[in-house]
Amino acid sequence: MFTSITRMSTSFRIGLLAVISLIAAIPAYPQQTGTSQAASGQSDNAALQQKIRDLEDRLIALEGQVRLLKSQAASPTTPSAATTETAAQAVPAAPTTAAPLSQAQAISLGGAGGSAAKALNPDISAIGDFIAVAGHNPVQPSPSLEMHESELGFQAIIDPYARGDFFLSFGEEGVNLEEGYITFTALPAGFVAKVGKMRSAFGKVNTMHNHVLPWVDRPLVTNNLVGGEDGLDDAGVSVEHIIPAPKGIFLEATGQLFRGDSGDAQHPLFRASTKSDVSAVAHLRTYKDITESTNVDIGFSYGRGHNDAGSNFLTQLYGIDATLRWKPLRRSIYHSFVGRGEFIWSQRQQPPFEQRAFGFYTSADYQLGRRWFLGGRYDHSDRSEFANLTDQGASAVLTYWPSEFSQVRGQYRFTHYAGNIDTHELLMQVQFSLGAHGAHPF
C-alpha cells in the first residue's frame, strides 16, 4: 500500500512537472511571432490562451487526484483529521530526519505525521474534563478539585463495510472502556448494527458522553434509577433500523442485547450472576421537523435486566424522553433553544418486596450569543431501592465557549435530599478538546 502510493505520487509529480514546464514555456512563444502578423497573431493568441486554460484545468484535475489519493491513504474513508496535505509537494519517499519539517510532514492533526506508515492511523482525540466543587454535600460528596475524566477517542473506518469507535475514559481511579464498538454500515435492507461495548439507547442522557452534556453533572434521575454516571453501558449487540413512516416523520427502532452488567459501583443497575442473566434494551425514536428551525424528538425506552439481589430479581425500566429544539438557520451560530425532559419508571424486584420508583428531569438551554449559553434544570427522583425516599433539585448553568474546542461552565446546584438534607453547591468545569475534529452533538 505504502509503496504503491509513493509510486503513484512520484509519477504524479513527474506529470505535474511536465505540465508546469509546458505552461512555463508557452508565454515565450507569442513574443517571438506576435508582432509580425497581427491578425493571425490574435487568433493564435486566443488559441494559446485556450490551450493554457486547458492545461490549467488538467493541472488542477491532477492536483485534485493527488489530494484525493493522499487523503484516502491518510484516513481511508473519512475526510477528517490525520491527513497530510496537498498536491505538488509530494511526500518524500524516504523520511528526512535532520532536515527542517517539510510541508508534508508538518501538516497533520491528531498526532499522525506525514509518514505513510502512520497514514492509516485512526482519528485521535483527547478531551479533558476538569471539575471544581464548592459547598457541602453529605449525601453525594465530590472532591474540591478533580480531573474528572480524560477521554481518549480513536475512530476510523475499518473496511468498506464498517467503522470502529473507541472511547477510553481515564478517571481519578483508573481506566474504563467507556465505549468500543464496530458499526456495520453496509448491511442490507438499511439495518445498522453495532457490536462491542456501548452506551445503550435508553433515553437521551444515557447515550451522552460527559463532554456533550449541557450540565456539569448528570440529573438525579440518572443517579437514582439509571446507574449513575456510567449508566446503562455494557457489552453486547445493537441493531437499529429506520422504519418508513408517512408525513416526513422519522421513526427508528433500536433493539439491544447486553451481558447484563451495568451501572457504577455505588449504583449497580443490572448484575449478571449467571450467563443467562442478559439484559435487553429497546428504543423507539420519533422525530419530526415542524419548521426548518424547530423540531421535536420523542423517544420511548424499555430496559430489562437482573439486579444485584440475584438472578431471580429483575429490574425493569420504562422511559419517555422528549426534546424540543429551535435554531433559526440564518442565525444558527448565535441563537438556539433546547428544551428537554425525561421521565423514567423503575420496577425493581428485591426482598422483601418490589420497589416502584419514578423520576424525571426537565431542562431548558438558551444560547444567548455565539459563545454564551444559559440553562436550567429541575430534578425529581425516587430512589430505586427505597422508592419512598425522594430527592429533588434545581440547577442554573452558564456556559462560555472560547472556541469550538474549549468550554468553561459554572453550575449552581441546589438539592433537597430525602430526610430533609439541603445542599447548595457551586460546580465549575473546564473542558478542552485536542486532535481530530469531532462531530457536533445533536
Partner 1 sequence: MKITQNCSRFLLLVIILGFAMWAVLLPPAAQAKKLNVVTSTTDMAALTQEVGGDKISVESIAKGYQDPHFVEAKPSFLLKLRQADLLISVGLQLEIGWLPPLITQCGNPKIQVGAPGYLDASQFAEILEIPTGTVTRAMGDVHPLGNPHYWLDPDNGRRIARGIANKLAEMDANDSAYFQQQFQDFDKRLTAAEQKWDQEMQPYHGRKVVTYHRSFPNFAKHFDLDVIGYVEPRPGIPPTPSHTIELIQLMKRENCKVVLVEPYFDLKTPQSIGQATGAQVIVYLPSVGGEKQVTNYFQLFDYDIALLIKAFNATK
| Nearest residue to 362 via CA among 381, 340, 383 | 340
Q: What is the dihedral of CA 184, 186, 192, 194, to 10 degrees?
A: 0
- CA distances, 360 to each of 82, 316, 321, 351, 378 (Å): 42, 16, 9, 25, 8
Q: What is the dihedral of CA 399, 372, 439, 248, to 10 degrees?
A: 110
Return the residues of window 401-430 that contact partner 1 according to CB under 8 A: 403-405
Q: Is the dihedral of CA 229, 416, 213, 411 positive or negative?
A: negative
Exactly one of 126, 257, 298, 364 binds partner 1 (CB under 8 A); which one? 257
Decide whether 114 or 319 has the Cβ nearer to partner 1: 114
Interacting span for partner 1 (CB under 8 A) from 19-27, 200-208, 322-330, 420-428: 322-330
Binding mask 90-119 for partner 1 (x = CB under 8 A): -----------x-x--xxxx----------
| CB neighbours of residue 79 within 10 Å | 10
How far apart are alpha carbons 381 and 389 in whole angstroms? 9
Interacting span for partner 1 (CB under 8 A) from 28-36, 172-180, 213-221, 330-338: 330-338
Q: What 3-state class would DSSP assign to 280?
A: strand
Interacting span for partner 1 (CB under 8 A) from 22-30, 91-99, 379-387, 432-440: 432-440
Binding mask 159-178 for partner 1 (x = CB under 8 A): -xx-x---------------
Exactly one of 115, 137, 142, 185 binds partner 1 (CB under 8 A); which one? 185
Taking the complex as a whole, the smallest distance from the CB of residue 216 to partner 1 amounts, in Å, to 23
Decide whether 172 or 292 has the Cβ nearer to partner 1: 292
| Nearest residue to 366 via CA among 322, 329, 396, 407 | 396
Q: In terms of residues, how long is the chain?
A: 442
Cell numbers of 219, please? 440529573
Decide whether 83 or 384 has the Cβ nearer to partner 1: 83
Decide whether 271 or 383 has the Cβ nearer to partner 1: 271
Taking the complex as a whole, the smallest distance from the CB of residue 175 to partner 1 amounts, in Å, to 26
Residue 284 in contact with partner 1, rule: CB under 8 A: no
Exactly one of 334, 343, 358, 366 binds partner 1 (CB under 8 A); which one? 334
Exactly one of 126, 282, 298, 418 binds partner 1 (CB under 8 A); which one? 282
How far apart are alpha carbons 53 and 58 in whole angstroms? 9
